[in-house]
Amino acid sequence: SQTIHQWPATLVQPVGSPLSLECTVEGTSNPNLYWYRQAAGRGLQLLFYSVGIGQISSEVPQNLSASRPQDRQFILSSKKLLLSDSGFYLCASPNGAYGYTFGSGTRLTVV
Amino acid sequence: EDQVTQSPEALRLQEGESSSLNCSYTVSGLRGLFWYRQDPGKGPEFLFTLYSAGEEKEKERLKATLTKKESFLHITAPKPEDSATYLCAVRVNDYKLSFGAGTTVTVRA
Model pLDDT for residues B11-63, shown as the tens digit of each residue: 999 999 999 999 999 988 788 999 999 999 999 999 999 999 999 999 999 99
Q: Number of residue pairs across A and B with CB atoms under 8 Å?
A: 55
Q: B24 CB contacts (<8 Å, ≥6 apart)?
A: B4, B5, B6, B7, B69, B70
Higher pLDDT, B107 or A29: B107
Mean pLDDT of B75-81: 97
**What does the pLDDT look like over B87-99, one tens digit per residue?**
999 988 777 888 9
- Provide the pLDDT for residue A59: 84
- Do A83 and A17 contact (CB within 8 A), yes or no? no
Q: Testing the interface with B: which of A33, A60, A100 to mutate, by most B Cβ within 10 A? A: A100
How many C-beta atoms lie closer than 10 Å to residue B54's C-beta?
Answer: 9
Q: Which amino acid is at A2?
A: Q
- Provide the pLDDT for residue A95: 87
- Provide the pLDDT for residue B43: 94
- Provide the pLDDT for residue B82: 98
Using a CB-CB cut-off of 8 Å, the residues of chain B touching A103 are 43
Give me the CATH number covering residue B55.
2.60.40.10
- Provide the pLDDT for residue B76: 98
Tell me the helices (H) and strands (E) count for chain A, helix number first: 0, 11
- Provide the pLDDT for residue A43: 82
Domain range for B34: 3-108
Residue B1 predicted with pLDDT over 70:
no
**What does the pLDDT look like over A40-90, one tens digit per residue?**
777 898 999 999 999 999 888 778 999 999 999 999 999 999 999 999 999
- Provide the pLDDT for residue A29: 84
Using a CB-CB cut-off of 8 Å, the residues of chain A touching B41 are 9, 88, 105, 107
Domain A3-110: top CATH class: mainly beta
- Provide the pLDDT for residue B31: 87
Q: Per the structure, how many domains does chain B have? A: 1
